[in-house]
Amino acid sequence: MNRRQILQSLATLLGGSSLPLPHARHFSGITPPPQQAASPDATQPHPVSPHLVNLLDYEDAAQGRLSKMAFDYVAEGAADELTLRRNRESFSGIRLKPRVLADVSKLDTQVELLGQKLDFPILLAPAAFHKLLHPEGEIATARGAVAAGATMVVSSLSTTSIEDIANIASGPLWFQLYVQRDRGFTRELVQRAEYAGCRALCVTVDSPVPGTRYREMRDEFHLPAGMTPANLKSLRMPSNNDAGATLATRGIYNVLMDPKLTWDGIDAIRTYAKVPVILKGILNPEDARLAVAHGVHGIIVSNHGGRQLDTVPATIEALPQVVNSAGGHIPILMDGGIRRGTDVIKALALGARAVLIGRPYLWGLAVNGAGGVEQVIRILYREFLTAMALCGKPTISAIDREVLWPDHSL
């Protein structure tokens, strides 16, 4: 059996979400996401199952549990998937500069973001259709996020309504907005999210049209009968779609993406939104400058996980210019390709206030529901602590370009 087969059999053995966590006994030893300052301890037992020790293991394990269509939907990028790969490769090309003999016995990962205190600067990126990955869908994701102490950004395209997610999630939620052609409906959706307790609004601006995705085309991607974008139930669907049953992917995107959206639309949202408005999907420094000028409260540097315009740069490559362009006026977050604790410290060193992960927690969800989501976050968090310690940086505010080995291209 090769490594992938072993992981796949393990995933099969894990069975449904009702099974106890296979590695629960290891949990007692892991440094929890800190309620107070924390530090990694090499003497503690390894935090996870020996077969699922890092985020990439979860991808391998998830592949054994999912249909080809569902796996491809999560894994895919646009067109030749060059940007998808570049998001990862660019992290590999950045080297860290360690420091020795710094007192790292206490590490503090708390960070302030848009008036909120986060225990650590890692959030769950919005992703559509969690029920494709696990029968409990977004409810399981929210439970995992709460258990690990992370903020979850709920997608407009969740298969569970924002109200139902908020009812079970005792932890912080943000809402991701796809601006609809029906602007009245858009406003109602924002108000529903605010009423449900979401603390920030991420308006996704990189998707006026869907990206070219060959895997979806080949797999004839569709939502299984009975699975719908729950937040959009009252939205009028184009006549060629059956809103109640199987929605063709392209049909969903037609409803969701308003190619007419411009800065005026963002200004309009700013007038009624009661929570901070963040633009998700900016790479171009000129757009970052405009975002500041239009008074938004934050930016997520994102290429949609390489799913929209292929051959754009990796987000870690675009980040420094966006940070520079925003001039310190608003916090800059980033996502795309974060798989290791060292990736998190690199992003922070290049000016990100926090990072988001997408696919890794979806793989965790597929492998073991809420427990899998929790584990993925804990693994990444622990790796991040280790990277902080070995770079000699005990606090988030201490992380700067000094942790990067000099490279004049950055």
Report how far residue 67's alpha carbon sits from residue 144's, in angstroms, rounded to the nearest whole number.
23
Q: Taking CB under 6 A as the rule, does residue 389 contact ligand FNR?
A: no
Burial of 53 (0-12, 13-18, 19+ CB in 10 A): middle
Contact of 277 with 297, CB cutoff 8 Å = yes
Q: Taking CB under 6 A as the rule, does residue 336 contact ligand FNR?
A: yes
Q: Taking CB under 6 A as the rule, does residue 87 contact ligand FNR?
A: yes
| 308: Cβ contacts below 8 Å, ≥ 6 apart | 78, 206, 207, 210, 211, 281
* Part in contact with ligand FNR (CB under 6 A); list of ranges 190-198, 236-244, 330-338, 400-408: 330-338
Contact of 183 with 264, CB cutoff 8 Å = no
* Part in contact with ligand FNR (CB under 6 A); list of ranges 110-118, 213-221, 351-359, 396-404: 351-359
Active-site pick, 222, 294, 304, 408: 304
| 409: Cβ contacts below 8 Å, ≥ 6 apart | none
Q: Taking CB under 6 A as the rule, does residue 280 contact ligand FNR?
A: yes
Q: Taking CB under 6 A as the rule, does residue 358 contact ligand FNR?
A: yes
Report how far residue 164's alpha carbon sits from residue 154's, in angstroms, rounded to the nearest whole number.
11
Q: Rg for the chain (alpha carbons), in Å?
A: 20
Buried residues in 144-183 as b, exposed as e (16+ CB within 10 A): bbbbbbbbbbbbbbbbbbbebbbeebeebbbbbbbbbbee
Report how far residue 14's alpha carbon sits from residue 8's, in angstroms, rounded to the nearest whole number.
10
Instruction: Between 109 and 308, name the residue whose CB sits nearer to ligand FNR.
Output: 308
Instruction: Between 278 and 396, name the residue whose CB sits nearer to ligand FNR.
Output: 278
- Member of 125, 193, 296, 318 binding ligand FNR (CB under 6 A): 125
Instruction: Between 107 and 152, name the residue whose CB sits nearer to ligand FNR.
Output: 152
Q: Taking CB under 6 A as the rule, does residue 176 contact ligand FNR?
A: yes
Q: Taking CB under 6 A as the rule, does residue 204 contact ligand FNR?
A: yes
Q: At what angle do helices 183-195 and 263-272 cross, to 10 degrees?
A: 40
Q: Taking CB under 6 A as the rule, does residue 338 contact ligand FNR?
A: yes
Report the site for ligand FNR in 297-316 (rule: CB under 6 A).
302, 304-305, 307
Residue recorded with tokens 């858009």: 186
Q: Taking CB under 6 A as the rule, does residue 131 contact ligand FNR?
A: no
* Part in contact with ligand FNR (CB under 6 A); list of ranges 9-17, 103-111, 122-130, 164-172: 122-130
Report how far residue 97's alpha carbon sits from residue 94's, in angstroms, rounded to the nearest whole number.
10
Q: Taking CB under 6 A as the rule, does residue 72 contact ligand FNR?
A: no
Instruction: Between 75 and 111, name the residue whose CB sits nearer to ligand FNR.
Output: 75
Tally of CB atoms within 10 A around 297 = 19
Considering the complex, what minimum distance in angstroms separates the CB of residue 247 from ligand FNR?
A: 14
Considering the complex, what minimum distance in angstroms separates the CB of residue 198 from ligand FNR?
A: 14
Q: In the annotation, is 130 catalytic?
A: no
Instruction: Between 204 and 386, name the residue whose CB sits nearer to ligand FNR.
Output: 204
Tally of CB atoms within 10 A around 397 = 12
Residue nearest to ligand FNR (CB): 358
Which residues are catalytic, by number? 304
The footprint of ligand FNR (CB under 6 A) covers 73-74, 87, 125-128, 155, 157, 176, 204, 280, 302, 304-305, 307, 335-338, 357-359
